[in-house]
Amino acid sequence: MFAVGDTVTLTIDTVRRGAIGKNHSATHLLQEALRQVLGSHVEQAGSLVTPDRLRFDFTHFSAMTKEELAKVEAIVNEQIKSNLPIEMKEMNIEDAKKTGAKALFGEKYGDVVRVVSMGDFSKEFCGGTHVGNTGVISAFKILSESGIAAGVRRIEAITADGVFAYYKNVEDELFAAAKAAKAEPANLLKKIESMQEELKAAHSENEKLKAKLANASLGDVMNNVQEINGVKVLAAKVPEMDMNGIRNLGDSLKEKLGEGVLLLASAFDGKVNLIAMATDGAMAKGAHAGNLIKEVAACVGGGGGGRPNMAQAGGKNPAGIDDAIAKAAEVLKGQIK
């Protein structure tokens, strides 16, 4: 704490202030570049500058394209390379307006304002902190462009050391990715493409084997077909299969069965997958897949239901599968008249 009459020393954190000066100065270049690329309707709608990055909000009615962003970035970097002197001048507001300097829309200004110009490229009313020359900004990189409100867009960007740190990080990730892919950074893309080809081949091979396996179990399973009151019924336990697999198998077995009712049960991952299907002919005689699966699922500690032609259920107790299969015939005897 200090009081009136005390002698105090004020020190500026020059590193922090310098970083803010670079990021803030870049917002001037950014605003002018946006006006050149998008049009003179672009107005500043807000800005936040920290030592690490800058945020610039502006009026524009659609998302910027990749090309527009690249153009804006190139223009700003061109002005940085041009080493434009940054000059500040305090002047009477009327004189300042005559210079064509851009003012903040809706902002109230006093009689004397400060006009900040960067060569002939940009001229704004501004009270912020700036570097003395655009070359000091070193580099400019846009990180993102997004919408924050109707007609208001936001650009987040970095400058100077922030840009070098950004590319160092990108480089580190590239090297790490190349190492993970057992490739050199220069041929990482080629390596990824060939890995995708391999993966695609393996996937298709896997699908073929799965279909072969399903077909192999198909033959045995058909031995379980029985007839209940004149309707063919296939209630069977099938090898380990997820819900998708058991559904596909059900479809092909149904085709093989022609008309009838199908109940398949599979232990999978310590749980039970159940599926029931009834054809039109079987439904006409009273079969109802949804009601069937509801009663059968109870045997495997599960529940479920569904439509008369198709139903699925899950259960927690694979040990109850045999009971569930036996129960199916019993339930269907009650359904089919």
> Which residues of the shown chain bind Zn ion in the complex (CB under 5 A)?
126, 128
Burial class (CB within 10 angstroms; exposed 0-12, middle 13-18, buried 19+) of 188: middle
Query: Which of 125, 294 has the CB closer to Zn ion?
Result: 125
**Residue 192 near residue 178 (C-beta atoms within 8 A):** no
Q: Which residue is nearest to Zn ion (CB)?
A: 126
The amino acid occupying position 33 is: A
Per-residue tokens: 231? 């309707």
Query: Which of 127, 258 has the CB closer to Zn ion?
Result: 127
Q: Vertex 90, ends 85 and 91: CA angle to 5°?
A: 120
Query: Which of 126, 158 has the CB closer to Zn ion?
Result: 126
The Cα 245–Cα 270 span in angstroms is 16
Close Cβ partners of 258 (under 8 Å, ≥ 6 residues apart): 232, 279
CB of 202 to Zn ion, least distance (A): 58
Query: Which of 117, 273 has the CB closer to Zn ion?
Result: 117
CB of 114 to Zn ion, least distance (A): 9
CB of 189 to Zn ion, least distance (A): 42
CB of 180 to Zn ion, least distance (A): 44
**Residue 286 near residue 331 (C-beta atoms within 8 A):** no
CB of 30 to Zn ion, least distance (A): 11
Per-residue tokens: 99? 């210079």
Query: Which of 126, 261 has the CB closer to Zn ion?
Result: 126
